[in-house]
Structure 1
Amino acid sequence: MSQTIANEADLDQRFSADLARIKAAVETRLAQLLPQTGEPSLAARDSLLAPAKRLRAVLTILAARQCAADADWSDERALDTACAIEMVHTASLVFDDLPVMDNADLRRGMPTPHKVYGDDVAILAGIGLLNGAFGVVAQAQSLDPAQKVEVIDVLSRAVGWSGLVQGQALDLKPALETSVDDIHYGKTGALFVAAALGGAACAGAPSSDRPPLIHFGRELGFAYQALDDVLDQVSGDGDAGKSTGKDAGKRTAVMLGSLPSDGLDAAKARAERHLRAAADAAERACDGSPLAALTEHIRLHFAQVIG
């Protein structure tokens, strides 16, 4: 192992420890935010608190940290926003797994809510998570009124007609002119952008910092979805922690190869391009490198999983 590779491994190990601390704080706070009475809330808790990477929550906090000009900055000031974004993401998974969508049986290593509680309760749990996310932001003591309005607007755009809703619709029934980027932005990129912008809002960053953060979120989302498309093809349910093989017939990064045999390589190359673009945008955003370190961490993680 060269000295450069050894140094990179050491840096990522330290960064991984930092991510573990952030994730633990998010897990603790998430458990406090949902009630424990009634089937919909229990189904929501099962989904929300199941083992997960918490990538979007981590991204929110790292974006806030990178954009914070306050020397006394504390990650706790972005914690509720990070949890709200995680709640939105989990709601999208609950809906995505329904029989009328992807009809998945496994998510995060556990049976999906509709398999345990039925379709009706699963739908109510997803609605509760979405509604609860906006409530968490509205009640966040760490945010002033202007910051709350900005974060709520960011979340609304991520969920809405050009975000998760549109992405899911295009994924299920793509028109002939629909590009993979259109699908990937709605499914993944929109919430990555929301996480970056939500973190910036928590830190009180000026509007001039938003464009590179938007670019970063889009590129990282494109890369992550391309890697997830590869994972769907090469991993079994147990390894992925979710139902795989659900992308058959869909417009994914894997289907961009000129031949079926080179689809996986094409998707990996696509992911690498987007990861490089995300790293470049991260360096231009605010003043710091946490987001660039996160991008490299994601690259290393997927390299270990899918080669």
Structure 2
Amino acid sequence: MTAGPQTTRDLLTEVDRRLATLTPCVIEGHSPLDLALRDGVLTPGKRLRPLVTLLVAQALGGSHEAALDAGCALEMVHAASLILDDLPCMDDAELRRGQPTLHRAHGEDVAVLCAVALLSEAYGTLARLPGVDGGQRGECVVALAEAVGTRGLVAGQYQDLRGGRGPRPVGEIDAANGLKTGSLFTAAVELGAVVSRADADCRASLTSFARELGLAFQLLDDLLDVAGPSAVVLGKDIGKDAAKSTIVSIIGPEQVGRRIDRHVDEARAHLAAALGPDSRLEALLMDVFDRSLGPRRMAEAAKQRELELGAL
């Protein structure tokens, strides 16, 4: 085991530096593609998924170098998914992380090629992980493949795109959210567990934690879409869910705020079972959701907005 940075800010800085190194290089004469790739990956973001991988490995005594590269591979997949999600054939978004979406800045053809390049590099990075053996590398590749494929991200995105156009039961939306958003969080904890050789009970608790985290995170994202700050402040388009059936549109912002709290409580319980109480990952979780002010404050804002619109 190699000791890693001691603060979350240090980890975030290291993730950004390593991502810059791992971002695919292009052949000579293709500098516009190189610029697009770097725009797609290196634009500042939360890096939540690689941070989860690193904090799991840190808590379980796993290889820091392996967890760092595995987390960066996962961030490449996340970046590729955002590039594809923003395309005109999907969400047709204009803004991502405070910048024009990749297809608007560089063209749809280049955006698709960047997504393919990032997915390829992600799997290659896992196949070359330092500090672990071949069996662990293979497990990491399988974990990521399952998260991305037709039993994970792809399935969730399909359900969201096609099923979201009409009325849906809350349970069906919940299942789609678990696939679309939860699958990469599941991969994040699984990668950290694999490089740490965690036992089956620990991995099961971490998987349950990741599912609750994914559900809470998607609900928070949906709440931000109707009650968050402006697109300029948030860094991405808002109001994109107006034509979709979401849990917010069905049960209302106030109930969604309570639902987020319940998911976070469940996530904390599973995390304590896996890593013990008061882990650094729990601190990160609470910082992300800021439960006393975040979801509840946004729910109140959304409710007020509904009242104002009803009075017009």
* SS of alignment partner, residue 285 of structure 1: helix
Q: Does 1:298 align with 2:281?
A: no
Q: Does 1:187 align with 2:186?
A: no
1:252 deviation in Å? 2.1
Alpha-carbon contact 1:51-1:109 (below 8 Å) kept: no
Distance 1:48 1:266 in 2: 35
Alpha-carbon contact 1:98-1:114 (below 8 Å) kept: yes
- RMSD over aligned Cα atoms: 1.9
* Aligned residue in 1 for 2:35: 42
* SS of alignment partner, residue 173 of structure 1: helix
Q: 1:100 aligns with which of 82, 89, 94?
A: 89
Alpha-carbon contact 2:24-2:121 (below 8 Å) kept: no
* Aligned residue in 1 for 2:238: 244
| Runs of 5+ consecutive residues of structure 2 not aligned to the other structure | 1-5, 298-312
* Aligned residue in 2 for 1:162: 151
* Aligned residue in 2 for 1:3: none
Distance 1:166 1:229 in 2: 19
Q: 1:127 aligns with which of 102, 105, 116?
A: 116
Over 3 Å counting, the alpha-carbon distance change for 1:80 and 1:45 in structure 2 is: same
Give the residue type in structure 2 aligned to 1:190.
S
Distance 1:149 1:254 in 2: 39
Alpha-carbon contact 2:24-2:37 (below 8 Å) kept: no
1:43 deviation in Å? 1.4
Distance 1:40 1:204 in 2: 38
Distance 1:102 1:286 in 2: 37
Distance 1:41 1:166 in 2: 30
Q: Does 1:255 align with 2:245?
A: no
Alpha-carbon contact 2:23-2:41 (below 8 Å) kept: no
* SS of alignment partner, residue 194 of structure 2: helix
TM-score by length of 2: 0.85
1:41 deviation in Å? 3.6
Give the residue type in structure 2 aligned to 1:272.
D
Number of equivalent positions: 282
- Deviation track 1:92-124 (CA, whole Å, cap 9, x = no partner) reads 000000000000011011111100111111001
Over 3 Å counting, the alpha-carbon distance change for 1:188 and 1:50 in structure 2 is: same
Distance 2:184 2:217 in 1: 12
1:143 deviation in Å? 2.3
Alpha-carbon contact 2:153-2:179 (below 8 Å) kept: yes
Alpha-carbon contact 2:56-2:193 (below 8 Å) kept: yes
Give the residue type in structure 1 aligned to 2:243.
G
Larger displacement relative to structure 2 (36-45 or 212-221): 36-45
Q: 1:53 aligns with which of 29, 46, 51?
A: 46
Q: Does 1:173 align with 2:167?
A: no
Alpha-carbon contact 2:52-2:281 (below 8 Å) kept: yes
Q: 1:64 aligns with which of 57, 61, 65?
A: 57
Q: Does 1:279 align with 2:268?
A: yes
Q: How many percent of aligned residue pairs carry the same amino acid?
A: 41
Q: Does 1:88 align with 2:58?
A: no
Distance 1:98 1:31 in 2: 24
Distance 1:44 1:306 in 2: 37
| Runs of 5+ consecutive residues of structure 1 not aligned to the other structure | 1-16, 258-262
Matches within 5 A, 1:113-152: 113-152=102-141
- Deviation track 1:259-298 (CA, whole Å, cap 9, x = no partner) reads xxxx111211111110000000000014462222222122
* Aligned residue in 1 for 2:305: none
Alpha-carbon contact 1:40-1:122 (below 8 Å) kept: no
